[in-house]
Amino acid sequence: AAAATISFSLLAGNAAAVAAVEQPSEICRGQDDGREVEVKAEAVTNEQLVEEAWEVVNEGFLPDAGSRPWSPELWMQRKQDILQGSIKSRSRAHDIITKMLASLGDPYTRFLSSSDFSKMSKYDMTGIGLNLREIPDDNGSLRLVVLGLILDGPAHSAGVRQGDELLSVNGIDIRGKSAFDVSSMLQGPKETFVTIKVKHDSCGPVESMKVQRQMAARTPIFYRLEKRDNENSSVGYIHIKEFNAVAKKDLVSALKRLQNSGASYFVLDLRDNLGGLVQAGIEIAKLFLNKGDTVIYTTGRDRQVQNTIVADSGPLVTTPVMVLVNNRTASASEIVASALHDNCKAVLVGERTFGKGLIQSVFELHDGSGIVVTVGKYVTPNHKDINGDGIEPDYRRLPDLNEARDYLSRCQSKKLS
């Protein structure tokens, strides 16, 4: 299952590409030749399709996500009621699935037609028109495989095909790296080139390609150095409009420039930031935390959803941080705000946040359609449920630097006691 809410423009146009073919370094067995073999989706009956969607909810749906009572017993009764008679057509099966999911009372759990599912799998995080999926290999490490391609986009025009494995970016071996990290590596200014190496199919040749970027994610980071009234020190003001594939890279650059220019502390403005890529928010939160600090907890019925995410290195900045929030600060923004606040790295200023702390996964059904299901939720390092309640700020108005320092010092003392 792929899980993300992404808002990127799709690519169009041709790419300039230079390709060099290498012979595969390993001998593949089990195929007569190197020709592509088209594998058709297994045929399923209308009843089986409905039951498949029912089973996804039965195994992973988060019960308290919906506005109506849910239990395995009630859900089993729902299936028995639905499957009493035959389902005459595929469109009728889709209607039944749509109504079945709507009965949960969760606005985020919904049906996707095959065309909508296809569009979702082809959102571009890379700037070259492809979407990557992490697949564990036999040794437990990650392989990155092309999940979706923009037709006639840069990667597609260069010869990349769905199912290809990405091996390197600009000569850097990407084995073991996450899809998010590699997507950020692929990003760059429009009309610049990136060199990628891919392996076609599981047993095909390895090919190096020089691909011209046609569209890059716009920077969501805006910053300036300013002085506040009645303060001698300078403050680095940073506004993050959304969390996308270049947010972390551009924030690191902004923090370093502001520090070198004399910033004594930072104001991080997350007002009206509705989220974006959750992983980008997590990586940005880590920039301010000590190694081992908890960023966020994820909980759900499925053990794969239950996780504790921690910072894996020391902070980039150690000066005080004030985070501005309002009632449109949501999702990934709330993860950042709570991580910095609960670890005594920042004071929160403004209004209570929106309260969007649910996790959705996207599942493909056997006929090419799909369903989005709420499977978990985010819980802050202080074990508070973000969803519905939001996060209450420490101050309504921006405190002065000394007041913020005193607050964070008391927070640290309380944390250690």
Q: Which residues are catalytic?
A: 331, 356
Nearest-CA neighbor of 153 among 140, 141, 162, 143?
Answer: 162
Helix (H) or strand (E) holding 325: strand 321-325
**Token reading at 299:** 């909980």
Strand partners, 120: none
- Cα 79 to Cα 24, 57, 93, 96: the distances in Å are 49, 11, 13, 11
- Dihedral, CA atoms, 114, 330, 8, 285, nearest 10 degrees? -120
Instruction: Give yes or no for a contact between 178 and 136, defined as CB atoms under 8 angstroms apart.
Output: no
Contact 192, 223 (CB under 8 A): no
**What b/e sequence results for 272-310 when a residue is b if at least 16 CB atoms lie within 10 Å of its CB, and e otherwise?**
bbbbbbbbbbbbbbbbbbeeebbbbbbebeeeebeeebe
| Pick from 303, 298, 341: nearest CA to 320 | 341
Give the list of residues 6+ apart from residue 24 with CB closer than 8 angstroms, or none: 199, 203, 204, 205, 206
The CA distance from 167 to 197, in Å, is 5
Which tokens in the block code for residue 290? 């000590």
Task: Tell me, rounded to whole angstroms, the distance of Cα 298 from its chain centroid.
Answer: 14
What residues form DSSP beta bridges with 360? 374
Instruction: For residues 108 and 388, give the distance between their C-alpha atoms in angstroms, rounded to a whole number.
Output: 13
Cβ-based neighbour number of residue 12 at 10 Å: 12
Rounded CA-CA distance 303/124 in Å is 29
- Name the phi and psi angles at 385, rounded to 5: -80, 120
Report which residue type is found at 207: E
**Beta strand pairing call for 17-22 and 110-112:** unpaired
For residues 133 and 139, the answer to whether their CB atoms sit within 8 Å is no
The answer to whether 251 and 238 have CB atoms below 8 angstroms apart is yes
